Amino acid sequence: MSDDSEKQPEQDPREAPFVVPFDMLTEDQLSGLVDEYCTRFHGTNDTEQPLAERDRVLAAVRRGELVVWFDPVENRAGLDHKADESRL
């Protein structure tokens, strides 16, 4: 007798998060994502002014060190390290 609990349904590829080229976003959209990234861990990053990091974060996006991802199920976007792209 087989155990059906071991069978996991495959995720619909249309529901999988994916990376969006940053140059497809408007400046306002990109600015919002940069602000969110800067303030996401405020209080744990030992800085009084997390938005002071905006230029550094934006430069990392432009260099490809941070990528823009979009989750179509959650209808949410964010920035994350390129190395973390595989977990999306």
- Provide the domain limits for residue 43: 15-87
**Alpha carbon distance 40, 46 (integer Å):** 13
Torsion of CA 56, 32, 70, 45, to 10 degrees: 50
Structurally, the chain folds into a number of domains equal to: 1
* pTM score above 0.75: no
Q: What is the pLDDT of residues 20-35, one digit of tens each?
A: 999 999 999 999 999 9
- Whether 67 maps to a domain, the answer reads yes
- Whether 20 maps to a domain, the answer reads yes
- Which is nearest to 55 in space by CA: 38, 41, 77, 78? 38
- Whether 74 maps to a domain, the answer reads yes
- Whether 26 maps to a domain, the answer reads yes
**Alpha carbon distance 82, 66 (integer Å):** 5
- Whether 9 maps to a domain, the answer reads no
- Whether 1 maps to a domain, the answer reads no
Q: What is the pLDDT of residues 15-74, one digit of tens each?
A: 888 999 999 999 999 999 999 998 886 555 666 787 888 999 999 999 999 999 999 999
Q: What are the residues facing 78 on neighbouring strands? A: 69
- If DSSP codes are grouped into helix, strand and coil, which group holds residue 78? strand
- Whether 3 maps to a domain, the answer reads no
